Structure 1
Amino acid sequence: MNIKYDLIVIGGGALGAFHAYHALEAGLKVAIIEKDKQPISATVRNFGQVVPSGMDTKWQNYGRESLKIYDDIQSRFDITVRKNGSVYLASNQEEVQLIEELSTINKHNAYESHLLTKEQCLEKYPGLKSDYVLGGLFFPDEVTVEPRVMINRLLEFLIKEKGLNYFGNTKVINCDAVSGETIVTTANGVVYKTSKVILCCGSEFKTLYPELFAKSDIEVTKLQMLQTKPQLSYELKGSILTGLSIRRYEAFYECSSFSEIKAKEEPNSFEKKWGIHILFKQATDGSVIIGDSHEYADAANMDDLGFDLRMDVDDFMIAEAKKIFNLPTFEIQNRWYGMYSQCKENDIFQHTVDNNIHIITGIGGKGMTGSAGFSKENIKNIFNLK
């Protein structure tokens, strides 16, 4: 190819697309190479909740920057962003204590949140059961997106409005630094030249650098989710996170009583074994998405996770969901699982090959929330921008 790029991003999911976005914003010539026609992995197999509130301080800052970026793009191009807030619903006094402590932390971090009484929760969220909730913590600035639509709209925006070159159904088979530039070769024999490469796809990482991949601390997580049939004449606003989420999300690790409360939990419970916490989010068609679970394997052994859905996990999640909300229908129309990679010891995997090939993957469950903000800082660092 006669075109030389400033940056080629391998992988068109949220992490790759937002790296491309910030590079394009900086005036760079950018291409994305995506192995599938369009992204079909972790980016489209999640809730679409953008919840900086659930992250530790470092990633909450990236998430808050992401909120600004989502808002800015949405003002120019519809990528399905809905600013409808997030709430954490406490079901007992320990969880009330944790949301009160997190509220104090938020005040120190200047991140807006509001404690809700039991009565305010019941008024704000129709169908919420009185015998479940004791209080809530609401984050008004947080947003939801439709993940299966958002990423394609984002890529469309980058192509039409920002000049992105997008190559779908294109498998990269080689990536080498040669005489001061980087050569990217695809399975169909096309060669691309670029100054820098950012590799954001875990499977492409495994293909291109198998030895480095095998030595990494990457593990794969399998999550199960369900979707009800549309709830007629019923509206559930925003992201709904419940007591098990309070006991799981990293933001609460910073609460002074968290360790003591966690130590009291039953270690052999079903929800512990399968990493279950109960979330709700209503999609634009009126259906409600319910989840999720977490099952782990080293990346090298990810096939051990299998491709079946565990019906006992689904049944447990539905039973727990019915304890929290009285939805018009719990009839399930879709069931699926998502797979995402994360690091055991680090918050994200970063490694540079030959100075100009940057492997950035393993963002885990932070992708939809943190990618936009993290990528902004990372592009500045990689290209030495002010």
Structure 2
Amino acid sequence: MNTKYDLIVIGGGVLGTFHAYHALQKGLKVAIIEKDKLPVSATVRNFGQVVPSGMDTKWQNYGRESLKIYNDIQSQFDISIRKNGSVYLASNNEEVQLIEELSIINKNNGYESLLLTKEQCLEKYPGLRNDYVKAGLFFPEEVTVEPRIMINRLLEFLIKNKGLVYFGNTKVVRCDSLLNEVAVITGNGEIHKTSKVILCCGSEFKTLYPDVFAKSDLEVTKLQMLQTKPQPNYQLNGSILTGLSIRRYEAFYECPSFDGIKAKEAPDSFEKEWGVHILFKQATDGSVIIGDSHEYADAANIDDLGFDLRMDVDEFMIAEAKKIFNLPTFEIQNRWYGMYSQCKENDIFECTIENNIHIVTGIGGKGMTGSAGFSKENIKNIFNLK
């Protein structure tokens, strides 16, 4: 192969694709090599919420930058972005206190949010139960996406409009560091030369660099989600996050009352055992997606998580969802799980091998929200750009 690239990204998920996007924006010649025809892993199996509001200050800043990037791309090419806001619904006085404290933190951060009264929540969100909600915190700038649509359209946009070279159904079997470049060898015997490699695929990280993988602190999270049948004559706008989300998301860790409130929770509750917090999002077909749960294993022991869905977890999520919303139907048409990797000690895994091979993975549940903003900064750092 005679083409020489400035960057080859291994892995066409949201983290890899946004690294490619920002490199292309800087005028670099970029290729993505994806082991499947199109991405099939964490990027397309998540909830589709872009919620910087749920992140700590560092990643909220990346998420806010991501919002700008999503909106800019959407203005040029439809990638399924809907600017319909996010809300956290408090179900008791402790959760009200936390959203009030978070609203002050956001005000100091310059991130727009709006406290909603119980009555405003009931008016804004049809079907919301009067006996559940006490107040809400609304973030008008946040967006939702359809994950299985978004990544494919984003790749299409980069190929058609930005000059991305995309190799699907292509497995990388080796990366050889040469003097000032890297030779990327694929399973079909092709050799692609590039100045830099960014490896964003966890499974190929494991096969290409097993020793580094074995020493990493990566763990894998398995999440269960459900999708109702389309809701007749019903519209639920935006991302709906509820009391258990308030008690779980990192943004609330910065609230003065958080530690004291968490200390009073029952340590052996079902929701703690399976990491359940209740989210709602209406898809474009009118169905409502409900989730989710969290089950963990070291990345080296991913098989311990199995491939079955736990019906007791699904049944618990449905029962809790019914306490929050009276939907026209709770009949379930789809159930699935997603998996993503994250670090136990760090917020993302980064490792450089022989100067020009950069492993960037383990972004965890921050991927859909934070990848676009993080990748912009990371491309500048890797290529020493201003």
Using structure 2 for the length normalisation, give the TM-score: 1.00
1:16-43 per-residue CA deviation (whole Å, 9 max, x = no partner) reads 0000000000000000000000000000
The reply on whether 1:332 has 2:332 as its aligned counterpart is yes
Distance (Å, rounded) in 1 between the aligned partners of 2:181 and 2:266: 55
The code of the aligned residue for 1:150 comes to: M
1:26 aligns with 2:8: no
SS in 2 for 1:277: coil
Provide the residue aligned with 1:363 in structure 2: 363
Q: Distance in 2 between matches of 1:175 and 1:248?
A: 40
Partner of 1:14: 14
Structure 2 distance, partners of 1:107, 1:258, is 18
Q: Which residue of 1 aligns with 2:90?
A: 90
Which amino acid is the alignment partner of residue 145 of structure 2? V
Aligned counterpart, 1:352: 352
**1:262-273 → structure 2 map (5 Å cutoff):** 262-273=262-273
Residues 147-178 of structure 1: CA deviation (Å, up to 9, x unaligned): 00000000000000000000000000001211
1:347 Cα deviation from its structure 2 partner: 0.1
Report what 1:224 is aligned to: 224
CA deviations 1:87-114 (Å, max 9, x no partner) are 0000000000000000000000000000
Question: Per the alignment, in what secondary structure is the counterpart of residue 185 of structure 1?
Answer: strand
Identical columns (%): 85
> Take 1:19 and 1:248, find their aligned partners in 2: how far apart are those partners?
29
Q: Say if 2:156 is the partner of 1:152.
A: no
Q: Distance in 1 between matches of 2:226 and 2:313?
A: 11
> What residue is the counterpart of 1:300 in the other structure?
300
Tell me which residue corresponds to 2:106. Answer: 106
3-state secondary structure, aligned to 1:285: coil
Q: Is 1:279 aligned with 2:273? A: no
Per-residue deviation, residues 263-297 of structure 1 (Å, max 9, x unmatched) = 00000000000000000000000000000000000
* C-alpha separation in 2, matches of 1:138 and 1:259: 23
Task: Letter of the 2:368 partner, please give it.
Answer: M
5 Å-filtered alignment, 1:101-180, equals 101-180=101-180
User: Unmatched 5+ residue regions in structure 2?
Assistant: none
Which amino acid in 1 is paired with 2:349?
Answer: F
- Aligned partners of 1:85, 1:141: CA distance in 2, in Å? 6
Q: Could you tell me how far apart the structure 2 residues matched to 1:328 and 1:205 are?
A: 45
Alpha-carbon distance, 1:179 to partner: 1.8
Letter in 2 for 1:372: A
CA offsets per residue over residues 103-127 of structure 1, 9 Å max, x none? 0000000000000000000000000
Cα distance between partner residues in 2 of 1:232 and 1:82: 21
Distance 2:114 2:258 in 1: 20
CA distance in 2, matches of 1:34, 1:133: 44
Aligned-pair CA distance for 1:338: 0.1
Distance 2:164 2:180 in 1: 23
Task: Describe how 1:17-56 pairs up with structure 2 within 5 A.
Answer: 17-56=17-56
User: 2:380 and 2:25 mapped to 1: Cα distance?
Assistant: 11
1:4 matched to 2:27? The reply is: no
Q: What secondary structure, in the 3-state scheme, does the structure 2 residue paired with 1:188 have?
A: coil
Task: State the shift of 1:180 in Å.
Answer: 1.5
Alpha-carbon distance between aligned partners in 2 of 1:16 and 1:100, rounded to the nearest angstrom? 36
SS at match of 1:308: coil
2:321 match:
321
Amino acid at match of 1:46: N
Q: Distance in 2 between matches of 1:83 and 1:226?
A: 23
Specify the SS of the correspondent of 2:308.
coil
- Quote the Cα distance in structure 2 between the aligned partners of 1:357 and 1:256: 42
Instruction: State the superposition RMSD in angstroms.
Output: 0.3
Which residue in 2 is equivalent to 1:245? 245
Determine helix, strand or coil for the equivalent of 1:233: coil
Runs of 4+ residues over 3 Å off in structure 1? none
Whole-Å Cα distance in 2 between the matches of residues 129 and 300 of structure 1? 43
